């Protein structure tokens, strides 16, 4: 059901006398004040994807040459936990300005209240003319091969995000990974494909006693269904380019592994829905862009006068002598982003000028982990780092 042109999903409460409860799109419903009229529709707008396109919000003031690009840096260490109690234990936010040291934002956050915090912070910063660089440590995009496998949009990231959230073309819509992964695997198997998602430690829980027809294999298996596939196929289906060409510490996990400690697939599935909410709620009121989806180069006009969302990866920038905690993960990301900005390196690190057009198209669909270097000293001059094709300037 569409509420004020925003998608929501409802179900009966356990006690039917309590009526309906919203299970998806809570953030949109929460914005409706008591007594305020709402527009309700079962069909939605003619072009719903436009709801998360950059709107007509006034841009921030032009920056002066020689100053850091941003005034404020905010990173949230995310959580894929289903329990709000566990979310409040895990989610923490690091916040710093050009002059103020990194501080932990007071309070305990769920995914829902984190979204409200970002929205509130961006509105306040916009009013003050303060430009923010912010992020959450989950993937902002999916491997291009996954979108192709589902028959979804592969030319525009915002349209793809919308399709993932609402479940376009009969594909299951985003929901808790335990249900989403099972439904997607069932959808794929019914069409003659291998399952996509797997979990080494929670296969029975995620499968809910459901097996691939005619086999003893759980619908969400304990091992990677594509573990023995050719490298080129795996690279397109489960690995984004940013993970294939990794140059920082640690090693990012791939999108198709969920439920296990340290994996990112589950929290990315949950995070993408909240991400959609943030874009929808800021489209016409807050100048917000998302790198690299809105343009491959941070210093381009696509980001000028706008707050910018980037995808951090804590293990890539956390000092080796620092213990891994939720707080240290968030703090390390803010420190690395702010240092790069102060040192004049941020725009260069968030740029794809040494990459061919076809690979840029893929990056703008999949995303890229901020500060993972794009350039390589080993790349042939005049050739794309990723595919070695000649660059067309």
Q: For residue 390, what pLDDT is reported? A: 82
Residue 62 lies in a domain: no
Most confident of 12-26, 86-100, 182-196: 182-196
Residue 393 lies in a domain: yes
Q: For residue 121, what pLDDT is reported? A: 96
Same domain, residue pair 23 and 87: no
Q: Is the pLDDT score of 48 beyond 60? A: no
Residue 64 lies in a domain: no
Q: How does DSSP classify residue 247?
A: -
Residue 378 lies in a domain: no
Same domain, residue pair 132 and 235: yes
Same domain, residue pair 161 and 269: yes
Q: For residue 163, what pLDDT is reported? A: 93
Share the mean pLDDT of the chain. 88
Number of domains, the chain: 2
Same domain, residue pair 18 and 129: no
Per the CB < 8 A criterion, the answer to whether 219 and 203 are in contact is no
Mean pLDDT of 357-383: 87
pTM for this predicted structure: 0.87
Same domain, residue pair 25 and 150: no
Same domain, residue pair 240 and 328: yes
Same domain, residue pair 109 and 198: yes
Same domain, residue pair 199 and 332: yes
Q: How far apart are CA 314 and CA 333, in angstroms?
A: 6
**pLDDT above 70 coverage of the chain, percent:** 87
Kind and range of the H or E run holding 73: strand 72-77
Q: For residue 66, what pLDDT is reported? A: 60
Residue 193 lies in a domain: yes
Same domain, residue pair 121 and 202: yes
Same domain, residue pair 83 and 11: no
Q: Is the pLDDT score of 98 beyond 80? A: yes
Candidates 70, 72, 109, 71; CA nearest to 93 is 109
Q: Determine the structural domain holding residue 291 and report its residue range.
A: 74-371+385-393
Residue 96 lies in a domain: yes
Q: How far apart are CA 141 and CA 296, in angstroms?
A: 14
Q: For residue 380, what pLDDT is reported? A: 72
């Amino acid at each position: 059901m569409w509420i004020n042109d925003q998608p929501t999903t409802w179900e009966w409460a356990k006690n039917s006398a309590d009526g309906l409860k919203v299970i998806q799109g809570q953030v949109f419903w929460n914005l409706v004040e008591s007594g305020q009229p709402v527009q309700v529709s079962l069909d939605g707008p003619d072009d719903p994807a436009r709801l998360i396109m950059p709107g007509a919000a006034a841009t921030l003031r032009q920056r002066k040459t020689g100053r850091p690009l941003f005034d404020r840096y905010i990173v949230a260490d995310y959580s894929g936990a289903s329990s709000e109690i566990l979310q409040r234990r895990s989610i923490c936010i690091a916040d710093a300005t050009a002059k103020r040291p990194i501080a932990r934002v007071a309070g305990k956050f769920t995914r829902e209240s984190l979204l409200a915090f970002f929205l509130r912070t961006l509105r306040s910063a916009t009013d003050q003319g303060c430009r923010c660089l912010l992020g959450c440590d989950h993937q902002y995009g999916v491997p291009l091969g996954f979108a192709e496998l589902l028959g979804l949009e592969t030319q525009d990231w915002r349209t793809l995000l919308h399709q993932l959230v609402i479940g376009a073309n009969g594909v299951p819509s985003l929901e808790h990974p335990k249900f989403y992964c099972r439904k997607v695997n069932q959808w794929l198997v019914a069409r003659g494909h291998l399952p996509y998602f797997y979990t080494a430690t929670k296969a029975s829980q995620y499968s809910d006693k459901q097996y691939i027809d005619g086999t003893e294999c759980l619908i969400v298996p304990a091992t990677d269904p594509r573990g023995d596939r050719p490298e080129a196929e795996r690279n397109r289906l489960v690995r984004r380019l940013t993970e294939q060409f990794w140059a920082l510490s640690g090693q990012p996990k791939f999108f198709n592994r969920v439920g296990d400690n340290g994996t990112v697939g589950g929290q990315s599935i949950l995070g993408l829905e909240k991400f959609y909410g943030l874009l929808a709620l800021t489209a016409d009121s807050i100048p917000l862009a998302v790198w690299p989806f809105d343009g491959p180069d941070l210093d381009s006009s696509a980001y000028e006068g706008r707050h910018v969302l980037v995808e951090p990866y804590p293990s890539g920038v956390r000092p080796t002598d620092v213990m891994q905690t939720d707080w240290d993960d968030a703090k390390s990301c803010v420190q690395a982003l702010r240092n790069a900005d102060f040192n004049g390196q941020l725009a260069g690190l968030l740029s794809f000028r040494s990459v061919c057009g076809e690979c840029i198209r893929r990056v703008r669909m999949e995303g890229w982990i901020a500060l993972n270097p794009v350039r390589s000293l080993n790349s042939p001059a005049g050739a794309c780092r990723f595919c070695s094709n000649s660059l067309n300037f």
